Chains A and B, each alone.
Chain A
């Protein structure tokens, strides 16, 4: 129905105020803060491009950049790969709906678990002594000495921990996409002479390519910004081995109380976030408008 904007405000007011206070103002603040040397006193001292120049000269910046890249790339592959595998196995290969439900539920559990509890589980799995899961498994295969995963393979630890929790989102999205492919396509392909592998390669993957793309963009963006598991598990250590960009910014601001520096670092993430958001909106928003679902 046609209503005046003023009366709509009663409904939209709270929403708009919250969005203004915790999205729009912070975006602008991040930009401004990055040109200051604000510290724990929270006073505004504008220093121009000093923060950015500072980072350009530091070798740690480049190390962090590389770490971030490795971390995002590895986790992304792990993440999306497992998600696709699980989706395929629980929809295409399994006829026992109960088995499928069981596995989907198991993989959903980490997502619902409190962050800290989830990290505790991984601390046990990668426990450096013989009591940890991975070391136990290794000892079953005859390896006597335990591996100190946290200091030897810190990147592995955070990739695994983030990969396992991230897989569920892709799994749910892919499963429902595969399920919505009409059985006629699969049947016709079978009659046309396709085996399982060819059906997956030539029918299923092309038909869910939008979902795959969506998950890739979404996961990249959220991996760039999801440092909370790393914060609890390794806190960036040892020796900055697992210090990703977002965690680096966090540490600058809340560990060393250099808010200006931290803001300068987050500014990059904010800009990447905005760009990615616009890209995905352009692609998927457009697709929604065009009523792509027709193709199924």
Chain B
């Protein structure tokens, strides 16, 4: 071959490359063809990457599976394969849990606390950030640029570093040991981000649409109700979802600012259960944890696609 073939013809193409590719199974190639891939696309790399992804995802995948299975079984082989079905672990739903030596706690008032806190966080966060997002997007006023810069800065600033000082602030406001206090702290540390998100949605609604609705005869309220709100829905939905889940899962602020056991939520409750039963009764722990996970799982299943499409920075506890 080398250099002896006539010019401009065959010598450019390494024959070996052709043959090795030709040896590929026909079926495999057919599958690629339907999806319209590049010739360079290597099926092998796809398989390798899927295997790697599977391996690194094992801890996540198996641990959630374990949580669910273990809550329904009396015994597990190596903590992985359930051996005997039981509802005993779920007894906390209808009877108080024996806690330590004397304490008896029912899960329902605690669940209610958790739910109320999550709802309060959601509603107030949506309200506050919609108002401020609208103002920052639509009004021109003195100090707007400054406030906008501030929201961006705060968005990145780690609020947790301020916990000690916040403790003192809550103390002077007489909000220590109240869920209201926790709610206020929670939303304050999250509104810079949600304001930014909502502002982005407002920015994307062109003035023309608002103007034309005025021309069409809407008053300010009707414009809001029929024109702006529908366009804003995805943004509000996203913020509601995230703030609900983050309120529902909140641990640190409650752990730090709440002392009365009547005011505890599922997070602190589960934490003290873990302290009590760690490495001993995984059945009970996993049942309570699964119960606690129900809203998370529901949201996850129904909104997974939407969740993946938006970035969710700043939600780090």
Residues of A at under 8 Å CB distance from B?
1-5, 8, 10-12, 14-16, 18-19, 21-23, 25-27, 29-30, 33, 42, 82, 85-86, 88-90, 93-96, 99, 101, 103-117, 119-125, 127-133, 136, 139, 160, 164, 166, 169, 172-173, 176, 187, 190, 195-196, 218, 221-222, 224-229, 231-232, 246, 249-250, 253-254, 259, 262-263, 266, 269-270, 273-274, 276-278, 280-281, 285
Could you tell me if B316 and A25 are in contact, using CB atoms closer than 8 angstroms?
no
Could you tell me if B60 and A27 are in contact, using CB atoms closer than 8 angstroms?
no
Could you tell me if B251 and A132 are in contact, using CB atoms closer than 8 angstroms?
no
Could you tell me if B35 and A95 are in contact, using CB atoms closer than 8 angstroms?
yes
Q: Chain B contacts of A115 at CB under 8 A?
A: 249-252, 267, 317
Could you tell me if B60 and A25 are in contact, using CB atoms closer than 8 angstroms?
no
Q: Chain B contacts of A121 at CB under 8 A?
A: 63-64, 66-67
- Chain B, range 58-90, C-beta contacts under 8 Å to A: 59-64, 66-67, 76, 78-80
Q: Looking at the assembled complex, report how far the CB atom of B296 sits from the nearest CB atom of chain A, in whole angstroms.
A: 5
Could you tell me if A120 and B141 are in contact, using CB atoms closer than 8 angstroms?
no
Q: Apart from A5-B142, A105-B300, what 18 extra A-B contacts exist at CB < 8 Å?
A: A14-B127, A18-B184, A19-B154, A22-B184, A23-B154, A26-B166, A33-B168, A89-B49, A94-B46, A101-B304, A116-B249, A124-B66, A131-B282, A139-B78, A249-B164, A266-B162, A270-B162, A281-B149
A114: contacting residue among B251, B278, B300, CB under 8 A: B251
Contacts A26-B169, A33-B168, A94-B49; is A3 near B191 (CB within 8 Å)? no
Could you tell me if B78 and A8 are in contact, using CB atoms closer than 8 angstroms?
no
Q: Chain B contacts of A160 at CB under 8 A?
A: 59
- One of B99-107, B230-238, B307-315 contacting the partner: B307-315
Q: Chain B contacts of A89 at CB under 8 A?
A: 49-50, 52-53
- One of B7-15, B18-26, B37-45 contacting the partner: B37-45
Could you tell me if A95 and B60 are in contact, using CB atoms closer than 8 angstroms?
no
A-B contact pairs, 7 of them (CB 8 A): A115-B251, A119-B274, A123-B274, A131-B78, A249-B164, A254-B256, A281-B156
Residues of B at under 8 Å CB distance from A?
35, 37-38, 40-42, 45-46, 49-50, 52-53, 56-57, 59-64, 66-67, 76, 78-80, 127-129, 131-132, 134-136, 138-143, 147, 149-150, 152-154, 156-169, 171, 173, 184-185, 187-189, 191-192, 195, 245, 248-252, 255-256, 266-268, 270-271, 274, 278-279, 282, 285-286, 289, 292-293, 296, 299-300, 304-305, 307-308, 311-313, 315-317
Could you tell me if B158 and A273 are in contact, using CB atoms closer than 8 angstroms?
yes
* Complex Cα gap A53–B158 (Å): 26
B161: contacting residue among A110, A133, A231, A266, CB under 8 A: A266
Q: Looking at the assembled complex, report how far the CB atom of B304 sits from the nearest CB atom of chain A, in whole angstroms.
A: 5
Could you tell me if A19 and B59 are in contact, using CB atoms closer than 8 angstroms?
no
Could you tell me if A246 and B169 are in contact, using CB atoms closer than 8 angstroms?
no
Could you tell me if B131 and A15 are in contact, using CB atoms closer than 8 angstroms?
yes
Q: Chain B contacts of A88 at CB under 8 A?
A: 49
Q: Looking at the assembled complex, report how far the CB atom of A44 sits from the nearest CB atom of chain B, in whole angstroms.
A: 10
Could you tell me if B80 and A133 are in contact, using CB atoms closer than 8 angstroms?
yes
Could you tell me if B270 and A108 are in contact, using CB atoms closer than 8 angstroms?
no
* Complex Cα gap A53–B78 (Å): 51
Could you tell me if B61 and A106 are in contact, using CB atoms closer than 8 angstroms?
yes
Q: Chain B contacts of A114 at CB under 8 A?
A: 248-249, 251, 266-267, 270, 292-293, 296
Q: Looking at the assembled complex, report how far the CB atom of A108 sits from the nearest CB atom of chain B, in whole angstroms.
A: 6
Could you tell me if A15 and B46 are in contact, using CB atoms closer than 8 angstroms?
no
Q: Chain A contacts of B285 at CB under 8 A?
A: 120
Contacts A4-B141, A95-B37, A112-B245; is A15 near B161 (CB within 8 Å)? no
* Complex Cα gap A266–B127 (Å): 31
Q: Chain B contacts of A22 at CB under 8 A?
A: 159, 162, 166, 169, 184-185, 188-189
* Complex Cα gap A136–B63 (Å): 13
Q: Looking at the assembled complex, report how far the CB atom of B150 sits from the nearest CB atom of chain A, in whole angstroms.
A: 7
Contacts A107-B60, A113-B249, A281-B156; is A99 near B50 (CB within 8 Å)? yes
Could you tell me if B192 and A19 are in contact, using CB atoms closer than 8 angstroms?
yes
Could you tell me if B165 and A29 are in contact, using CB atoms closer than 8 angstroms?
yes
Could you tell me if B270 and A120 are in contact, using CB atoms closer than 8 angstroms?
yes
A133: contacting residue among B63, B168, B315, CB under 8 A: B63
Q: Chain A contacts of B168 at CB under 8 A?
A: 29, 33, 42, 259
Which chain A residue lies CB-closest to B70?
Answer: A124
Q: Chain A contacts of B300 at CB under 8 A?
A: 105, 108-109, 112
* Complex Cα gap A287–B293 (Å): 40
Could you tell me if A25 and B45 are in contact, using CB atoms closer than 8 angstroms?
no
Could you tell me if A18 and B191 are in contact, using CB atoms closer than 8 angstroms?
yes
Could you tell me if A133 and B140 are in contact, using CB atoms closer than 8 angstroms?
no
Which chain B residue lies CB-closest to A261?
Answer: B164
* Complex Cα gap A285–B160 (Å): 23
Contacts A124-B66, A131-B78; is A12 near B135 (CB within 8 Å)? yes
The 5 closest A-B pairs by CB, nearest first: A114-B249, A131-B79, A26-B165, A22-B188, A11-B135
B251: contacting residue among A105, A228, A273, CB under 8 A: A228
* Complex Cα gap A250–B316 (Å): 17
* Complex Cα gap A90–B128 (Å): 37
Could you tell me if A250 and B128 are in contact, using CB atoms closer than 8 angstroms?
no
Which chain B residue lies CB-closest to A92?
Answer: B49
Which of A110, A113, A172 is packed against the most chain B CB atoms within 10 Å? A113
